[in-house]
Every structure is written in structure tokens, then in C-alpha cells.
Amino acid sequence: GQQLNQSPQSMFIQEGEDVSMNCTSSSIFNTWLWYKQDPGEGPVLLIALYKAGELTSNGRLTAQFGITRKDSFLNISASIPSDVGIYFCAGRSYNTDKLIFGTGTRLQVFP
């Protein structure tokens, strides 16, 4: 099925560094969601975005709904070991009632 382009595929960073990942779509979206998945568990919602240009924070996490409606990014500031996991973006375009998921960004944080 259709998937979003999510990058990078993986990141290996040192504790305390900032992280940035993004998703792009070929079609206009009216919803962007960011999830985190720990090994062997279901994805947990981090941030939901519903308006173009919207910038939302959740603790050290910040996500933005791109002005073009075709992209979104997630930033994590001052990373800590518990940030390790796979981060997924998800979105819905106007012509469908289903979410489309990105391929995920695997984050590793080294002390």
C-alpha cells in the first residue's frame, strides 16, 4: 500500500543531542500524527497535528504540520536513553478515510 517517505531510516546519536526527522507526501494531508514504538509494544501517540503551520510541543518533543500540507517534522531536544525506539509518522489525505504510515525512523541513543 501507499506509504509516506520518512527520513532518516535510522539515527545513532549521543545522549544530550537534538534529533530531527521528517515525513513527506506526494499528496496534501489534513492530518499528521507522530507515534513512538518501543520493541515488542504497540505504537504510542506523541503528537497530533490538524492545521497547516501548526507547531505543537509535548515535553522535549516538537512537531510541525508543514505549510504546504505535504510534510511534517518531529524534533527531540536533549535526547535521553529512553528516547530509543522507532518513530512513525502517519497522515491522512483528503481523498481517503484511512491513515497512511511512514516506514519509521529507528533512534539509538548512546550514553
Partner 1 sequence: SQTIHQWPATLVQPVGSPLSLECTVEGTSNPNLYWYRQAAGRGLQLLFYSIGIDQISSEVPQNLSASRPQDRQFILSSKKLLLSDSGFYLCAWSWRDTSTDTQYFGPGTRLTVL
Contact positions toward partner 1, by CB under 8 A? 1, 3, 31, 33, 35, 40-45, 48, 50, 88, 90, 92, 97-99, 101-104
Considering the complex, state which of residue 19 and residue 36 has its C-beta at the smaller distance from partner 1: 36
- Which CB sits closer to partner 1, 15 or 57? 57
Cα 96 versus chain centre, distance = 20
Chain length of the chain: 111
Torsion, Cα 78 82 86 90, to 10 degrees, reads -70
Task: Give the shortest CB-40-to-partner 1 separation in angstroms.
Answer: 7
Can you tell me the distance from the alpha carbon of 32 to that of 13, in angstroms, rounded to the nearest whole number?
A: 25
Smallest distance from partner 1 to CB 109, Å: 19
